[in-house]
Amino acid sequence: MPIAQAIDDLKTLLGERVSLSKSDLDAHGASESYFPSTPPQAVVYPRTTEEVRDIVKICAKADVPMIGWGAGTSLEGHGQALRGGVTVDFRHMNRVLEIRPADMDVTVQPGVTREALNEELRATGLFFPVDPGANASLGGMAMTRASGTTTVRYGSMRDNVMGLEVVLADGRVIRTGTRARKSAAGYDLTALMVGSEGTLGLVTELTLRLHGQPEAVSAGICAFPDMNAATACVMETIQMGIPLARIEFACAQTARAFNAYAGTDMAEAPHLMVEFHGSPQSTEQDAERFAEIVADHDGSAFRWSAREEERRALWAMRHNGYYAILASRPGARAVVTDICVPISRLAQAVEATQADIAASGLPGPILGHVGDGNFHAILLVDPDQPAELDKAKDLAARMATRAIQLGGTCTGEHGVGYGKLPFMQSEHGDAWQVMGSVKTALDPQNLMNPGKLVPSN
Amino acid sequence: MPIAQAIDDLKTLLGERVSLSKSDLDAHGASESYFPSTPPQAVVYPRTTEEVRDIVKICAKADVPMIGWGAGTSLEGHGQALRGGVTVDFRHMNRVLEIRPADMDVTVQPGVTREALNEELRATGLFFPVDPGANASLGGMAMTRASGTTTVRYGSMRDNVMGLEVVLADGRVIRTGTRARKSAAGYDLTALMVGSEGTLGLVTELTLRLHGQPEAVSAGICAFPDMNAATACVMETIQMGIPLARIEFACAQTARAFNAYAGTDMAEAPHLMVEFHGSPQSTEQDAERFAEIVADHDGSAFRWSAREEERRALWAMRHNGYYAILASRPGARAVVTDICVPISRLAQAVEATQADIAASGLPGPILGHVGDGNFHAILLVDPDQPAELDKAKDLAARMATRAIQLGGTCTGEHGVGYGKLPFMQSEHGDAWQVMGSVKTALDPQNLMNPGKLVPSN
């Protein structure tokens, strides 16, 4: 059956909520980073699980690929229609279905963004902590196993998704997990789905773990004479057991980009941005103990504040880091790297990366979630100079290989998509083939986001 | 090829480390709970990953089932050789391979027990927190996704296994996970293997997350007039955000069993046993805030202590709970239940369970990890009275069904084995068939611990 028949069937199902307009197709073929545009043949906008199920059945019958789409903030080309097909955009499935304060959990549709959820939660005293820089959809965050600045304390999507409703490739609708805080009842299908990037099914509902809004928060920033001093300070803080809620690194180039973008007056030096959650006493104590460690490593005075507006300004700046860096080279596209290494290897990894960037001559500001050993070099390339893109990709490949050699991973939080496919074999060995076997078992027609994550796909 | 040939080949490989003695076979067919003995045809004792790989290849060639064996403390018959075959006992693979204090992780062989690991870690300032009552092997704990008294704070095996080496059914040896604190690089095979109960492969190495030994600890115990008061106190403590390291419940019958077994003088009333980890100040504050909540719920004075020997006595008593309860009816066998429900449903679940136990006339002391919503009724039956076993199994089935109806699970931490198989369909629906598909993809001959966890197996 040709795709034309599938599109007719989808129109019968969804009416106006099937789009074939060029602008819509192009918007869903685009990427936040350097990948070329690869639009789908149609975009559909379901409102219910039943509609998603019927979309899947129509596409499966016609052998048409299906690609899930959240907020479109992926950096590894997850949403691109490499083999054409139908993009399933979840923007209308954006309801918070049930908040259960006594159980500290919530059930949402996949199109709810993390900011929209926290807006709804504000009055409950609870919040959802996982915060990639972008205002991503929670469905997309689950599918890429996203994390962010607070992961050092609250974990990633791996730790905060309790259960899912998933439409499988054959149209079956399954529920994974329970609302109990733990379970030993069989394979952890929730964990299998989190990070599966739409290659095993389309998520139509998520139950998420919530956390109490901290009674008190203190946050601050400090500069270091060099990168090694900053990473040594991170390691010592972690080993002292000081409970960090956030610890973010920004290199001198990044500080310069912040200054230009946000009008700040940061020294052009490596910085740490730090936050503590707890009681008024504990957060003050934590900040003071941290300040002592900073001083021991020749850092600048640790300026900290418990005032909400100062903290908000600090983290808004951090969350705009990617855009600030992009703006530092007008017209540039970004090759974003995302390596994560054991903490003991962090200084070594950052140092080798900086030397590599310096040798390349490309702008490559670094920022990252150093409490987890995860950092990003954002390599800025002129899209009209293919040699620059090649150079950046080579550099990113060396970073990934180095991370794997150091016992780490080519992607701490952005996922595989197709940008990180070339490193999967060396990171996982035969385990990558096992991922392929799981994929084939659940999607024998290879229609769920083909060309991503698994081998020969 | 008959099993005789496989046994010959195993003898060539392992020499004296293949056992066919009746006592050895019987020991590996036995169970800690009520299941009848089902011995394997041989027991093998590998020393290396390569030996495990060769065992698997020999057994696969001869179509012989393989069953992993750790410390033999399973309560759901995980280790029983339902279809005969070869039991792979990991007792000689009991080395701690590498402790990395800077990264707060450790790599161990599967036969290391949790107590042996913590003994080795003592001088490092680190510890491994997951503590099922028994001194289980870490391989067995990973395979059943074990948890215990500290899970409310430190998580279960799901949260504390970073990576595995696994011998698959076809003899391939894979590594899952990395030593980075997080990764988004493809399907979470570590999480898929944790809780897979040996049905997808045999674990030969584990990398585990460690935690800093708390600077200060306070612990204590208090009694309540009734179960509802105790569970209300648990809920309020959690909602207040008081950071519990442990919060354990024991019913009046359990208190009586403790008194008889350990010579304590607990009131025959529901009790909570609680522990806080932190700084000297914070643990004192936490204990005092908790004492206020206890008083608000008509609890007895909360007697707490920061003294190590008092705390050790308290938790030794708790960890011997199962054996104390068994001893309270000499000669009895136990049908152990393990339901886990959302915290908001805990009081309802405990109340309904107690009414059901009272109506049955069986002894059924309750104890559990109430901070996670997980509790056990230990139903004591006379092994010579089949009617008692039937009655207990019916009661356990009603508990499981009730937990599932309340949004929870039939097993919070003991796993499925074959004891909980009858509840998998109602807990998971079609997701259970998906587990079966994953199993078939990785073990098409169905030789890895057959008869457990998945459907029609």
Indicate whether A132 and A175 sit together in one domain. Answer: yes
The residue from B274, B304, B323 where one domain ends is B323
The residue from A279, A298, A323 where one domain ends is A323
- Alpha helix segments (H runs only) across A199-307: 227-239, 252-262, 280-296
Beta bridge partners of A208: A106, A161
Helix (H, G, I), strand (E, B) or coil at A251: coil
pLDDT at B111 over 60: yes
The tokens of B444 are what? 């098409």
Q: Say if CB B137 and CB B115 are below 8 A apart.
A: no
Residue B119: give its domain's CATH number.
Answer: 3.30.465.10
Q: In sequence order, what DSSP letters do the residues of B349-375 get, joined into one string?
A: HHHHHHHHHHHHTS---EEEEGGGTEE
Q: Say if CB B183 and CB A422 are below 8 A apart.
A: no
More confident residue, A342 or B309: A342
Indicate whether A131 and A65 sit together in one domain. Answer: no
If pLDDT is split at 50, 70 and 90, which confidence band does A307 have?
A: confident
- Residue A121's alpha-carbon distances to A108, A111, A135, B17, B241, in angstroms, are 12, 16, 16, 60, 17
Examine residue B454 and state whether it is found in any structural domain, yes or no. no
If pLDDT is split at 50, 70 and 90, which confidence band does A457 have?
A: low
Mean pLDDT in residue range A236-254: 92
Indicate whether A117 and A72 sit together in one domain. Answer: no
Q: Say if CB B328 and CB B381 are below 8 A apart.
A: no
Indicate whether B168 and B70 sit together in one domain. Answer: no
Give the separation between CA A156 and CA B186, rounded to whole angstroms.
Answer: 15
Min Cα separation B83/chain A (Å): 20
Full domain range(s) for residue B141:
96-212
Examine residue A444 and state whether it is found in any structural domain, yes or no. no
Helix (H, G, I), strand (E, B) or coil at A93: coil
Nearest CA in chain B to A170: B434
Which residue, among B152, B154, B178, B285, would best test binding to A if mutated, counting the most A CBs under 10 Å from its CB?
A: B178
If pLDDT is split at 50, 70 and 90, which confidence band does B196 have?
A: very high
If pLDDT is split at 50, 70 and 90, which confidence band does A448 have?
A: very high
Examine residue B248 and state whether it is found in any structural domain, yes or no. yes
The residue from B56, B89, B122 where one domain ends is B89
Q: Is A89 on the interface with B (CB under 8 A)?
A: no
Nearest CA in chain A to B240: A212
Q: Say if CB B353 and CB B304 are below 8 A apart.
A: no
The tokens of A416 are what? 């595989």
Confidence (pLDDT) at A1: 57
CB nearest to B180's CB, from A183, A412, A428: A412
Min Cα separation B15/chain A (Å): 30
Rounded to 5, what percent of chain A is helix, strand, coil?
40, 20, 35
Indicate whether B406 and B357 sit together in one domain. Answer: yes
Q: Taking CB atoms and an 8 Å cutoff, what residues of chain A touch B412?
A: 180, 182-184
Confidence (pLDDT) at B457: 58
Mean pLDDT in residue range B299-309: 87
Residue A81: give its domain's CATH number.
Answer: 3.30.43.10
- ipTM, 2 dp: 0.96
- The lowest-confidence range among A138-152, B99-113, B233-247 is B233-247
Rounded to 5, what percent of chain B is helix, strand, coil?
40, 20, 35
Tell me the per-residue pLDDT of A194-209, one tens digit each, with 9 for 90 and over.
999 999 999 999 999 9
Give the separation between CA A98 and CA A216, rounded to whole angstroms.
Answer: 27
Nearest CA in chain B to A453: B186
Give the separation between CA A125 and CA A293, rounded to whole angstroms.
Answer: 32
Indicate whether A301 and A381 sit together in one domain. Answer: no
Mean pLDDT in residue range A202-227: 95
Within chain B, how many helices (H) and strands (E) appear?
Answer: 17, 19
If pLDDT is split at 50, 70 and 90, which confidence band does B187 have?
A: very high
Angle formed at CA B309 by CA B307 and CA B314, multiple of 5 degrees: 100
Nearest CA in chain A to B196: A187
Mean pLDDT in residue range B91-95: 98
pLDDT at A120 over 60: yes
Contact flag A341-B420 (C-beta cutoff 8 Å): no
Examine residue B444 and state whether it is found in any structural domain, yes or no. no
Indicate whether A108 and A204 sit together in one domain. Answer: yes
pLDDT at A3 over 70: yes
Indicate whether A103 and A162 sit together in one domain. Answer: yes
Contact flag B182-A420 (C-beta cutoff 8 Å): no
Among A275, A174, A286, A299, residue whose Cα is nearest residue A224? A299
Confidence (pLDDT) at A310: 87
Tell me the per-residue pLDDT of B345-403, one tens digit each, with 9 for 90 and over.
999 999 999 999 999 999 999 999 999 999 999 999 998 999 999 999 999 999 999 99
Q: Is A372 on the interface with B (CB under 8 A)?
A: yes
If pLDDT is split at 50, 70 and 90, which confidence band does B241 have?
A: confident
Helix (H, G, I), strand (E, B) or coil at A310: helix
Q: Say if CB B45 and CB B68 are below 8 A apart.
A: no
Examine residue A457 and state whether it is found in any structural domain, yes or no. no
If pLDDT is split at 50, 70 and 90, which confidence band does B1 have?
A: low
* DSSP secondary structure letter of residue B52: H
More confident residue, A53 or A264: A53
Q: Is B330 on the interface with A (CB under 8 A)?
A: no
Among B227, B225, B246, residue whose Cα is nearest residue B317? B246
Tell me the per-residue pLDDT of B13-49, one tens digit each, with 9 for 90 and over.
999 999 999 999 999 999 888 889 999 999 999 999 9
pLDDT at A306 over 80: yes
Helix (H, G, I), strand (E, B) or coil at B109: coil
Cβ contacts below 8 Å, chain A against chain B, sum to 260
Q: Say if CB A23 and CB A143 are below 8 A apart.
A: no
Give the separation between CA A456 and CA A454, rounded to whole angstroms.
Answer: 7
Residue A281: give its domain's CATH number.
Answer: 3.30.70.3450
Q: Say if CB A56 and CB A173 are below 8 A apart.
A: no
Confidence (pLDDT) at A304: 84
pLDDT at B199 over 70: yes
Examine residue B13 and state whether it is found in any structural domain, yes or no. yes
Contact flag A408-B180 (C-beta cutoff 8 Å): yes
Indicate whether B20 and B108 sit together in one domain. Answer: no
Indicate whether A199 and A104 sit together in one domain. Answer: yes
Tell me the per-residue pLDDT of A332-384, one tens digit each, with 9 for 90 and over.
999 999 999 999 999 999 999 999 999 999 999 999 999 999 999 999 999 89
* Through-space distance between the first and last CA atoms of chain A, rounded to whole angstroms: 22
Q: For A295, phi and psi rounded to 5 degrees?
A: -60, -40
Mean pLDDT in residue range A154-181: 98
Indicate whether B47 and B116 sit together in one domain. Answer: no
* DSSP secondary structure letter of residue A214: P
Examine residue B243 and state whether it is found in any structural domain, yes or no. yes
Q: Is B160 on the interface with A (CB under 8 A)?
A: no
Indicate whether B128 and B74 sit together in one domain. Answer: no
Tell me the per-residue pLDDT of B255-296, one tens digit each, with 9 for 90 and over.
999 999 988 899 999 999 999 998 898 899 999 999 999 999
* Number of independent structural domains in chain B: 4
Examine residue B360 and state whether it is found in any structural domain, yes or no. yes
